[in-house]
Amino acid sequence: MKRKHNFKTISDREMENPDFRKRFEETWPAFQLEVRLLKALESKHWSYSDLARVMGTQKSGISRDLKSGGLRSASIARVAKMAEALGLLFFPLCISAREAKRFLPLIKRHA
């Protein structure tokens, strides 16, 4: 009889740790936003310098915002300006947990 092995990935093991899972869940939305902005930057074939020029700001600020979770400390106005410069619409959204269960699957389906 063959024995079935259940292997866990490193991320599976990490997610079993409640502290890690909490930090992951708190930072995941900002990470997704960062990826979306970086993909838009890439699709336009723009560098950080190009985006900074369009926004009227410094390249170092763009670099700070788009590297390693920097968006978490950026203002909503700055993120909206970045999105607009990249041809994206930015919608800050505050809804209750109950509403999120209903609306987030719809939003994810159309993203």
Mean of the pLDDT values across residues 103-108? 79
- Among 10-14, 38-42, 88-92, the range with the most confident prediction by mean pLDDT is 38-42
Contact between 72 and 30 (Cβ < 8 Å):
yes
Other Cβ atoms within 10 Å of 26 Cβ, number: 10
* In-domain check, residue 4: no
Sign (positive/negative) of CA torsion 80, 83, 88, 94? negative
* In-domain check, residue 105: yes
Predicted local distance difference test score (pLDDT) of residue 3: 61
Q: How many structural domains are present in the chain? A: 1
| Confidence at 25, pLDDT banded by 50, 70, 90 | confident
Report CA dihedral (78, 82, 70, 33) to the nearest 10 degrees. Answer: 120
Within the chain, what is the greatest distance between any pair of CA atoms?
68
Q: Which domain holds residue 73?
A: 12-110
* In-domain check, residue 2: no
* In-domain check, residue 7: no
| Model confidence pLDDT, tens digit, residues 4-24 | 667 778 888 888 888 988 988
CATH number of the structural domain spanning residue 83 = 1.10.260
Other Cβ atoms within 10 Å of 51 Cβ, number: 23
Predicted local distance difference test score (pLDDT) of residue 24: 85
- Is residue 44 predicted with pLDDT exceeding 80? yes
* In-domain check, residue 47: yes
* In-domain check, residue 72: yes
More confident residue, 4 or 67: 67
Provide the whole-model pTM: 0.74
* In-domain check, residue 40: yes
* In-domain check, residue 5: no
Give the end-to-end CA distance of the chain in Å, rounded to a whole number: 46
